[in-house]
Structures are given as structure tokens and as C-alpha cells.
């Protein structure tokens, strides 16, 4: 490797002729992605790039460029962002800003929502065998990792829950299909919420497109109210 | 945990004395009967798919019984599950009726085993999920993102209707405003009376009304209205006995004065030659 | 350059033996600097790095690595941070269009300019019966719907205003003559049918040819200056 003395910063004038100069689109892409707080999707990136650049190819190139670095280019729900390499977490601990510790109930509920989505509160309770406290749902909603996505077309029209992009981002998942152990779960048929286990192997989906048995949320659905015990027969039996 | 003291071979509680420390279980530690069942099932140390539901039912019932012996308050859920398991156990032990009504005992047992497997599977999944590297814990986003300056381009909206309404209203308003200014100002009766009352208050002697009025008329075009209103107001004040009016002949100047306090007879005619 | 297919992400297990693998201290440094919420000084970096790493040398190496990239490692007041390459600063702007409604005063003024063009500011004020604020005229100029077209051959040589092609397209007019006249305005009820005789609405024309009483704008007319109150006798009479 060249010594540092030889690797001095070139003068700006030298850049265009520098043989090491990287393709401009890679410079633009990395600048955009470095600067942004949020992951950026292909369309947004393409809009900011010069005409004629194949952004997909450039992104793949950039991802390869950074694969071995301390900072990697990753994809979350079809959006691109830089993240520090996960193998360096030991070094980064000091950056931690008091991460919230979820209760066991909340963690289980989150997992059920992730693996069974879209799923209703009653179905979550069926799996866990206990009534869910309003507080647990509130805590999960606050994380921004789950969202009510529609209403099941069944009596009572209960809310259906699913995970968000922030969920994928939090757990470093590119797509929901990357959920750990998902394939085994599908294989055992344990993802079917109906008992006894059926023949179909349902796969969780966070596709915002509603399922056939889902209605959209109404514009005036006040979710705050919807989640309160009063509106929820599950907990109205009182404590 | 109390499960250790339950013998699943016999399905009966092991020898234990009431109040034995091991039995002081915190049922609150379990998240409901299913959680408890799962914990008990794990004691069988076999694949949940091959678990003995009969043995599990016995363990559970023994647990509940033990808890009740020490008057441990149990949530209704636990008792419901106990009743259901007792029912299931009896059906598992009895020969199946020739025409089974609803699911067979075997099916019910399988369903319960599946519920337990599913709960266990989701627990396992949640562990694996939470053990994944997490954002801002194990890997990090850009700590100090750069500010993207926003260059605002205003896009104005207005419709032709807005434009025409504004134009018509404006032109019309100006035209009507001019008409309004051309209107004569009228000296109201009330104004005339108020002025006269002030005058009468100081006019002990006969004075010429016309002369007083003239001082009010700044704009010659107002002369008629001032005269008309004052004359009407003057007649009103006379009728009320506050003042007296005197006129030599038609169209001659009008004289007025404050009515004297004691009226002893007809007032003498003013000495017109004086003024 | 290797094709993208060949540049797939290596498995994490491959890393240690990958010939491309970068020195670990550079990975650590870039991860730390990337994730930090503020620039870091040498002492802080040294404290976070494993023992025995010459942070100065590593920083110099990292700076050289990034010199040609879209993101550079820069030193600000003796602290280190990543920043977008200065030649890409234009990327760090976002153009957004915001829809604004014209104020009533602006709409009125625009209407008068449309019907009475070419018209001076004093004439507009004569018709509206109120003094026009500089701001209103500025906003109208910003819309691109009006333009100064010349100067009236009268004392003070005030600017004359007219409408533009953008005006026509905004209001869906083919030609200015499509603006409704007196009878049409009456017909639609916008104008009172009992207006005094002699009330007229001009037949508007945006013919760019200057009228007889108009002088052309001079080449060096700075319209920004022309519109300021100081240069405009219309408003010098006070507020």
C-alpha cells in the first residue's frame, strides 16, 4: 500500500484526471445517503441523480464498495441507508442512548404481530392465552414498530395490526421474509392462527395492501380511542 | 417453581406438607394458564408434539389443587382451564362414544398440544428476534446527518372566478360609493332640537332665529334642511312651553326667546326697530 | 472492473481472509465517526480505539481514503467528522413547491391590471381607491402573471404593467379578449344590472406593442429597484 506521503489529498483541479477518481454517480449516491437521516428509496435517489444513471447498478456497486468497511450500505424495506457494521457493536456501546427495555409480554406480542400479521388483538390473545393489557399495546404503539393497518371483516370489525418500516429498520431486516426462523415456523404450520393446524402455510406480510378479509381504517378512526378499554370488549369485563 | 415437586408419573402431588416453602408459588409469575401449562409441559422433557396431555392435565390439576390448599388466590382463568382439563381427562380415560358429538377427546388434546407448541414457537421466535443486532444498540445510523436546505418555490393559486369576482366587486363598490357621496346631508330634527334647546337656554330677549341658524349653515346646500328642521323643532319647543315664537307676517324673520318663568299675559311684541 | 455479479457481498466468515479487508482500525474509526452525533477530537477517538492504534496515522489514512469520495473526512476546529464533499454541496438542497393563495388585495390588483392594461400603479390605486402596498406588487411579480411593459410618457415616467402568457394559461384563457366584458359580467350576476350609465368595462388587450403614450423599458432598468418605494413616486406621498 502506498505510503501516506504519496496519498496526499489531490488538488481539486487534479480530480477530473485522477485515475483513481470514482464514477461521479457513486460520489453523489454516497453523499446523499450519508447526509440523510432517513433511508431513501430508489425513486427519491433517482430523482436527485443525473439523467441516464442506472441507480440500481450504482447502488449495488456502492454496497459492494462498503461491504468490508465499518459503515455498510443496507436496504430496509426497499430503502437504502448507511449503518455501522454490526460486528463492531462492541465498540459502539458508548453511543447507546438508553434503549427502552420491553416487557416480556410486549416482546411476545411484538413477535406475534410480526410473524402473524395482519393479526387482531383477539388472535394475539388466543396465541398467548391471556388478555392483553392496554398498557402493553400502548407501549408497542409508542415504539413505532407496529401500526393498526385495517379492520378484519368479522363481527365487531376488530383492528388488524402489522409491523412498520421502523420495525424492519430496528432489527436490521431488509424485508419481513428475513424474520429469524420464519421458514421453520412456516414448515411446522404453527403460523396458522386457526386450530388445529391447517393445510395452508400462511406467511406474514407487511404489505400495506389490505388482505381480502380486511377493511381500510376509516378516515375518522381515532386510534387513541380505538385502543382504549372502553372500546374494547376484551377488557371491558373489568378488573 | 413448584413443578418439580409434582410427580407426573402418578399425576399426583408428591409428598408435601402444606406450607412447604417450595409450594409458595407466584402464579403471577406465569402469564396465564397456558404459560403455566407450557412450563409444566417442559418438565416432560419431550418434544411438545409427543407430549402426554393426560399427564399434563394431571400435573396442572395437582398444581391448582396444591395452590388452593394454601389458599393461593387464583385468577378465574386458571380455574376455567382446570375444569376444562378435568373434563378432557375424563374423556380421554373413557371409551369414546359411538357417535361423537363435536371434536373427539384426541382432537381436543392435539389442539391443546398445538397451542402449546405454537406459544413455545413464538417465544423462541421472539428470543431470536430480540437477539438480533438492533439499531442504535448494535449498529448505528448517521449520528449527525447534514441539513438539507429547502429552497421554496411558491406556486400561486387563483381561479378565474376569483379574478372576476374581485374585479366586479371592486368596480361596483367604487361606483356605488360615488353615488353615496352625492346624497344630500340632512340636518335631522333631533340635531335641530338639540341646537335650539341650547340657544333658548341663553335667549332671555327676543332674538332672530334666522340669524342664529345662519351660523350653523356652513354649506349653502344645507340651508333648506337646516331651516326646515329648525322650524319644526321650534314649533315643538313652543308647544312644550319652553319658548315663544313671534313673526310679523308671512315670510318675515322669526323671533324667539326663552319663555319667561311667570306668564302674566301676552308677551309684548319685540321692538323691531331696535334690532 | 469486476462485474457486479462477482462483487457480491462476501459472507461474514470470509472477511478475515478477504484480501481486500481493510485494517480493522480504519473500520472502527469510520464507524465511530459516522455514528457520532458531533465531531470527535483525537483524544476521544484514541480513548475509544483499541490500545496500540496510532489514531493520527489512521485518521490520515482514512482522510486519504475518502478524499475522492462524495463524503470526505474533514477536521473542524481540531475535531473530526464526515462531511459532504464541498463540490457536491448543491445536493444538500431540496427544492419544494408550496402552494400559496393570493391575498384579496393581490387578486384585485391583478384583475385591474388584466382589464386596464397597460396601467400604472397610480392608476390602479385610483381605481381601487386605496394605496397599494409594495408587498402586493412583489407577490404579483413573483407569480409571473404580470410584467412591467414600459413607462408612461407622463411626469415621473411611471411603469406600466400588463399581464403575461403565464397569466393566460393560469386562468385558462386563450386570448386576453376572452375575459368577460360588461354585459357578460352583468349576465353572470357579478355586476349589478342597475349600474349608472356611463359605467364601462374596458375591452382588455395584452398586445405587447407599446401604446403611443408608452416608452420602452430601458435596457438597464433594474426592475427590483424600480419597484421599491423610493423609486416609486406613487407611494412617496406617505402611508
- pLDDT digits 0-9 by tens, B15-52: 444 433 333 344 656 888 899 899 888 887 777 777 88
Candidate from A173-187, B105-119, B212-226, C185-199 with smallest mean pLDDT? B212-226
Backbone φ and ψ of B59, nearest 5° = -60, -45
- Band of pLDDT at residue B14, cut at 50, 70 and 90: very low
Q: Which of A151-165, B104-118, B131-145 has the highest mean pLDDT?
A: A151-165
Task: For residue B140, give the nearest of C103, A99, C227 by alpha carbon.
Answer: A99
3-state class (DSSP) for residue C62? helix
Domains located in chain A, CATH noted: 23-86 (1.10.10.10), 104-236 (1.10.10.10)
Sheet containing strand C214-215, edge to edge, reads C119-120, C159-163, C146-152, C214-215
Which of residues B96 and A127 earns the better pLDDT score?
A127
Q: How far is it, in rounded angstroms, from Cα A66 to Cα C69?
A: 12
| Chain B from 106 to 145: CB within 8 A of any C CB | 140-144
Within an 8 Å CB–CB cutoff, is residue B15 touching chain C?
no
pLDDT value at residue A65? 93
What does the pLDDT average to over A41-47?
91
Which of residues C91 and B3 earns the better pLDDT score?
C91
What does the pLDDT average to over B152-168?
86
Q: How far is it, in rounded angstroms, from Cα C188 to Cα C176?
A: 19
Candidate from A10-24, A128-142, A174-188, C121-135 with smallest mean pLDDT? A10-24
pLDDT value at residue A148? 94
What does the pLDDT average to over A47-61?
91
Whole-angstrom Cα Rg for chain C: 33
pLDDT value at residue C224? 54
pTM of the entire predicted model: 0.61
Which of residues A92 and A154 earns the better pLDDT score?
A154
Q: What kind and span of H or E run contains A215?
A: strand A214-215
pLDDT value at residue C221? 65
Helices B105-130 & A104-116, crossing angle to 10 degrees? 100
Q: Are B146 and C163 in contact (CB under 8 A)?
A: no
C172 and B150 in contact by Cβ < 8 A?
no
Q: How far is it, in rounded angstroms, from Cα C200 to Cα A73?
A: 70
Cross-strand partners of B212: none
What angle (nearest 5°) sits at the alpha carbon of residue C208, between those of residues C202 and C209? 95
pLDDT value at residue A139? 92
- Straight-line distance from the first to the last Cα atom of chain A, in angstroms, rounded to the nearest whole number: 71
Which one of B137, B143, B147, B157 would you mutate to disrupt binding with C, by most C Cβ within 10 Å of its Cβ? Answer: B143
Q: Which residues of C touch A67 (CB under 8 A)?
A: 9-10
Stretches where chain C sits below pLDDT 50 are 1-19, 228-239
B151 and C101 in contact by Cβ < 8 A?
no
Q: Which residues of A touch B31 (CB under 8 A)?
A: 104-105, 128-130
Q: Are C98 and C104 in contact (CB under 8 A)?
A: no
3-state class (DSSP) for residue B234? helix
Q: Which residues of C touch A48 (CB under 8 A)?
A: 91
**What is the average pLDDT value for chain B, to the nearest integer?**
75
pLDDT value at residue B32? 85
Q: Which residues of C touch B173 (CB under 8 A)?
A: 129
- Band of pLDDT at residue A100, cut at 50, 70 and 90: low
pLDDT value at residue B171? 84
Task: For residue A87, give the nearest of A68, A100, A104, A113 by alpha carbon.
Answer: A68
Q: Is the pLDDT assigned to residue B2 strictly greater than 50?
A: no
Burial of residue A72, with CB atoms counted within 10 A of its CB: 0-12 exposed, 13-18 middle, 19 or more buried: buried
Backbone φ and ψ of A137, nearest 5° = -65, -40
Backbone φ and ψ of B78, nearest 5° = -70, -35
Closest-CA residue of chain A to C57: A4
Amino acid at each position: 500500500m502506498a505510503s501516506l506521503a504519496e496519498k496526499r489529498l489531490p488538488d481539486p483541479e487534479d480530480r477530473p484526471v485522477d485515475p483513481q477518481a470514482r464514477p461521479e454517480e457513486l460520489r453523489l449516491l454516497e453523499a446523499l445517503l450519508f447526509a440523510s437521516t432517513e433511508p431513501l428509496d430508489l425513486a427519491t435517489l433517482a430523482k436527485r441523480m443525473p439523467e441516464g444513471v442506472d441507480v440500481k447498478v450504482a447502488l449495488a456497486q456502492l454496497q459492494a464498495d462498503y461491504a468490508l468497511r465499518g459503515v455498510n450500505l443496507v436496504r430496509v424495506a426497499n430503502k437504502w441507508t448507511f449503518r455501522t457494521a454490526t460486528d463492531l457493536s462492541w465498540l459502539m456501546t458508548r453511543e447507546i442512548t438508553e434503549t427502552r427495555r420491553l416487557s416480556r409480554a410486549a416482546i411476545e406480542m411484538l413477535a406475534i404481530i410480526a410473524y402473524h400479521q395482519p393479526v387482531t388483538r383477539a388472535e394475539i390473545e388466543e396465541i398467548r392465552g391471556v388478555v392483553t393489557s392496554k398498557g402493553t399495546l400502548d407501549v408497542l404503539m409508542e415504539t413505532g414498530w407496529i401500526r393498526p393497518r385495517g379492520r378484519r371483516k368479522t363481527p365487531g370489525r376488530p383492528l388488524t395490526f402489522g409491523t412498520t418500516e421502523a420495525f424492519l429498520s430496528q432489527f436490521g431486516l431488509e424485508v419481513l421474509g428475513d424474520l429469524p426462523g420464519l421458514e421453520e415456523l412456516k414448515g411446522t404450520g404453527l403460523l396458522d392462527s386457526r386450530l388445529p393446524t391447517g393445510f395452508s402455510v400462511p406467511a406474514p406480510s407487511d404489505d400495506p395492501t389490505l388482505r381480502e378479509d380486511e377493511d381500510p381504517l376509516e378516515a375518522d378512526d381515532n386510534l387513541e380511542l380505538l385502543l382504549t378499554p372502553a372500546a374494547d370488549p376484551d377488557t371491558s369485563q373489568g378488573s | 417453581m413448584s413443578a418439580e415437586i409434582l410427580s407426573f408419573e402418578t399425576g399426583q402431588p408428591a409428598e408435601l406438607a402444606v406450607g412447604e416453602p417450595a409450594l409458595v408459588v407466584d402464579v403471577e409469575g406465569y402469564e396465564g394458564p397456558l404459560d403455566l401449562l407450557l412450563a409444566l409441559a417442559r418438565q416432560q422433557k419431550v418434544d411438545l408434539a409427543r407430549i402426554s396431555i393426560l399427564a399434563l392435565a394431571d400435573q396442572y390439576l395437582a398444581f391448582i389443587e396444591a395452590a388452593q390448599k394454601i389458599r393461593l388466590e387464583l385468577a378465574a382463568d386458571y380455574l376455567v382451564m382446570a375444569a376444562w382439563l378435568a373434563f378432557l381427562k375424563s374423556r380421554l380415560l373413557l371409551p369414546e362414544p359411538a357417535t361423537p358429538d363435536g371434536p373427539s377427546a384426541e382432537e381436543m388434546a392435539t389442539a391443546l398440544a398445538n397451542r402449546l407448541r405454537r406459544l413455545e414457537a413464538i417465544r423462541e421466535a421472539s428470543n431470536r428476534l430480540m437477539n438480533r443486532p438492533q439499531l442504535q444498540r448494535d449498529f448505528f445510523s448517521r449520528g449527525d446527518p447534514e441539513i438539507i436546505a429547502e429552497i421554496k418555490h411558491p406556486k400561486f393559486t387563483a381561479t378565474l372566478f376569483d379574478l372576476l369576482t374581485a374585479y366586479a366587486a371592486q368596480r361596483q363598490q367604487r361606483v356605488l360609493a360615488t353615488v353615496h357621496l352625492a346624497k344630500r346631508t340632512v340636518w335631522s330634527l333631533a340635531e335641530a332640537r338639540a341646537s335650539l334647546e341650547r340657544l333658548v337656554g341663553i335667549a332671555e330677549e327676543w332674538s332672530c332665529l334666522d340669524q342664529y341658524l345662519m351660523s350653523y349653515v356652513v354649506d349653502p346646500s344645507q340651508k333648506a334642511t337646516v331651516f326646515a328642521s329648525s322650524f319644526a323643532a321650534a314649533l315643538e319647543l313652543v308647544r312644550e312651553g319652553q319658548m315663544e315664537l313671534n313673526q310679523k307676517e308671512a315670510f318675515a324673520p322669526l323671533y324667539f326667546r326663552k319663555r319667561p318663568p311667570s306668564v302674566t299675559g301676552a308677551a309684548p311684541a319685540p321692538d323691531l326697530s331696535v334690532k
